[in-house]
Chains A and B, each alone.
Chain A
Amino acid sequence: MVITDKELWTVIHGMLLGAIFFMAFSGIWVTLFSLHPERTAGVVQRVRGLKIAGWATAIILWLTVFTGTYIVYPWYRAKPPEGADLTQFPRSYLLASPDRAGWHNFGMEWKEHVAWLAPILVTAVAYIISRYGVKLVEEEKIRKAVILVFTIALIAALAAVVFGAFLNKAAPIK
């Protein structure tokens, strides 16, 4: 059983950090919905957990986009030397065939950009949760705004993760 450095980083970037994000997301989402003026029991503990989970999620997302962009992506877009085996150069391999080119032209082009919106949005959400704490229970407009922005962040992250998985199937980084 052998795993290369490149494969290991791809797993850390896509599966480990991505999986932690989605687990944290569901917890944060449910807790945000539970912050209701009629449900005040245990609110201090719930908000304390929300603050930790919010910042942890933001940090995970920043780590995901930085490892993806500055460690994994250079391997993906490396230019092959003359006569090289293109399967070792994912971007060139995909673009070499019209049947595969869409994975780069649509999938990778979307993934590499849209992923960066998620940490920006989740950092704003984490800050608001920290700043307002239990006041979020009374601040209905802010609470609903946070839920919507957090959901948009999930959609952005989901697009990146789904295309990342497909791309790693179509042209794995080895």
Chain B
Amino acid sequence: MAGNTITRARLSEAVYQEVGLSRNESADLVEALLEQIADALANDEIVKISSFGTFSVRRKGERVGRNPKTGEEVPILPRRVLVFRPSQVLKGRINQADGFDRTD
């Protein structure tokens, strides 16, 4: 299933068609929406979009890693990683695509 790739342009176009703002403003709002989500996550907030999914930030502790090439031990610093958990609705939509319901 080598599909296509959708970018911001496609999302802006959808907003333009659906809401009737100018193309420029539609693009700005798509950007502003992503920015609001990023801001919230940077603030350690959980972002929960019903029927889509939940973005949350997980803190990972320091651990010892290894350079696979040299075998040398290097410390991996504590960091924050973003986790996306898709909702049941989103999972369901994806599995309906071929006509089978595989939500269970």
Q: Is B one of A's binding partners?
A: no
- Taking Cβ atoms with an 8 Å cutoff, the residues of A that contact B are none
Residues of B near any A CB (own CB < 8 A)? none
